[in-house]
Amino acid sequence: MAESSAPVLPSATAHEVIDPHSYAAWDPLLDTFDRLREETPVVRIEPDEEGLFEPFWLVTRYDDVMRMSKDNATFLNNPRPVVFSLNAAIEFSRQATGSNMLVDSLVVFDAPIHPKYRRLTQKWFMPRNLARLEGEIRNLAKRTVDRLVESGPQGDFCKLVSAPYPLHVVMQILGVPEEDEPRMLMLTQQMFGGQDADLSGSGMDNMTPEQVLELVAGAVRSFEHYFAEIARARRANPTEDVASVIANAEVDGQLLPERDMAGYYIIVATAGHDTTSASTAGAMQALAQDPEQWARVRADRSLLPGIVEEAIRWTTPVQHFMRTAAEDTELGGQKIAKGDWLMMSYVAANHDPAQFENPRRFDAARSPNRHLAFGAGAHQCLGLHLARLEMRILFEELLDRIETVELAGEPQRSVSTFVGGLKTLPLRITVAGEKT
């Protein structure tokens, strides 16, 4: 347990940090993080009388989040949830699966299991292997840009481009045929979109917490059945996709148990699209807000990698992860006890002025840009090279075809504490070579 002298966040601020709506409002939350980094960079969040969640520490400074990410022996992913969870959700998982999380996957394992599982696909996700996919990804990007152009001079970039494109890419690498993509999207949204009424697509806002949990568990079961079929097919006829690697992978001489295999598919299926959608939409927002920048990068494509990287920092699509202390330790001047639960706020860390000058500014030339949007250490994002590649290829295609972009309305952010970003981005475009 924490020392009694530990700073405790006043309940209004604590509520702000765990309220998904704060992440939709964004700037006031960044103001709060600025204040906390200065005053109480490692601070307790205690539940109110209702006791809806377990107490935890909120960590807001870049250096502290970096240290936690890299010290995987002291800060464990297991056994508490890796994402901020209400007690009801944890209890539901325990009853359904015997584990604190509904799905066991890379993000839940620690050493010695984690490195064994991670090694199975690590090479597949490296740039050398991904280079083989460039042609396929470019085709998906071209088709996506075609649809944007065909839809006319004004439209929602999220709906037309940034939501569908990363989903197509992930489904392609998992061998999911295009006709099944809507079902996969619905299942992902049921698993993660529950906090945002517009995104859950299932009227979750009108459901009781029990009904929501049932729906989420049902989504997990559907995923498991679906991917068990894919695995059977890939064992019979392996291809070069990551689905085949997972289906045929062995740990200690054995194929993966069903549940772990399903967990692997589910983490790749779900981790790879909403995240990249958010950074892609953020990149476009930044460029549309400053039309001269669009013209500059059209003329000089060497600016693109900087834009992609800065968009990933600026948007920080994965807003936090949780860790559990394996032993007593100290962090940011506070005594952390074995078993304590801690929230690494990537949003706060990526806006730490001690690391990033003028952090709220989108600076395509920022260098160095050692952001924490992909995490760090043993669990650092497995798909980071794929995310960068997808974004670069998409923007190359967009820059070729679109002459000018500007905002056509106020963009809206999603309501979510975990993965978040723009859910609408109204744009006006002109197409290269066409008279307006």
Q: Give the residue with the Cβ less far from ligand HEM, 202 or 316.
A: 316
Which stretches within 300-426 are classed as H helix? 304-315, 346-349, 384-401
Is residue 170 within the footprint of ligand HEM (CB under 6 A)?
yes
By CB under 6 A, which span of 45-53, 137-145, 379-387, 410-418 interacts with ligand HEM?
A: 379-387
Is residue 413 within the footprint of ligand HEM (CB under 6 A)?
no
Q: Give the residue with the Cβ less far from ligand HEM, 379 or 392.
A: 379
If you compute the radius of gyration of the chain from its CA atoms, what whole number of angstroms results?
21
Of 15, 83, 33, 45, nearest in space to 349 by CA:
33
Is residue 81 within the footprint of ligand HEM (CB under 6 A)?
no
Is residue 308 within the footprint of ligand HEM (CB under 6 A)?
no
- Which residue type is seen at 59? V
Rounded CA-CA distance 101/257 in Å is: 17
Instruction: Find the binding residues for ligand HEM in span 277-296 (CB under 6 A).
Output: 279
Is residue 381 within the footprint of ligand HEM (CB under 6 A)?
yes
Shortest CB 312 distance to ligand HEM, Å: 5
Is residue 271 within the footprint of ligand HEM (CB under 6 A)?
yes
Is residue 9 within the footprint of ligand HEM (CB under 6 A)?
no
Tell me the two tokens of residue 135.
């042609």
- Which residue type is seen at 302? S
CA distances to 51, 181, 190, 289 from 225, in Å: 35, 15, 16, 44
Is residue 191 within the footprint of ligand HEM (CB under 6 A)?
no
Is residue 262 within the footprint of ligand HEM (CB under 6 A)?
no
Q: Give the residue with the Cβ less far from ligand HEM, 44 or 392.
A: 392
Residue 367: half-sphere exposure toward Cβ, Cα within 13 Å: 6
Q: Is 324 in contact with 84 (CB distance < 8 Å)? A: no
Q: Give the residue with the Cβ less far from ligand HEM, 149 or 158.
A: 158
Peptide bond preceding 368: is omega within 30 degrees of 0, i.e. cis? Answer: yes
CA distances to 158, 283, 288, 294, 428 from 406, in Å: 14, 13, 5, 10, 5
Is residue 59 within the footprint of ligand HEM (CB under 6 A)?
no
Q: Is 332 in contact with 64 (CB distance < 8 Å)? A: yes
Q: Give the residue with the Cβ less far from ligand HEM, 106 or 394.
A: 106
By CB under 6 A, which span of 17-25, 41-49, 94-102, 313-321 interacts with ligand HEM?
A: 313-321
* H or E element at residue 58: strand 56-59
Residue 410: half-sphere exposure toward Cβ, Cα within 13 Å: 4
Instruction: Find the binding residues for ligand HEM in span 318-337 (CB under 6 A).
Output: 318, 321
Bridge partner residues of 325 (DSSP): 75
By CB under 6 A, which span of 146-154, 243-251, 328-336, 367-375 interacts with ligand HEM?
A: 367-375
Q: Give the residue with the Cβ less far from ligand HEM, 120 or 415.
A: 120
Matching residue, tokens 């601020």: 13
Is residue 84 within the footprint of ligand HEM (CB under 6 A)?
no
Rounded CA-CA distance 68/74 in Å is: 8
Is residue 386 within the footprint of ligand HEM (CB under 6 A)?
yes
By CB under 6 A, which span of 17-25, 135-143, 216-224, 266-274 interacts with ligand HEM?
A: 266-274
Shortest CB 7 distance to ligand HEM, Å: 25
Which spans of this chain sit near ligand HEM (rule: CB under 6 A)? Answer: 69, 106-107, 118, 170, 267-268, 271-272, 275-276, 279, 312, 317-318, 321, 373-377, 379-383, 386-387
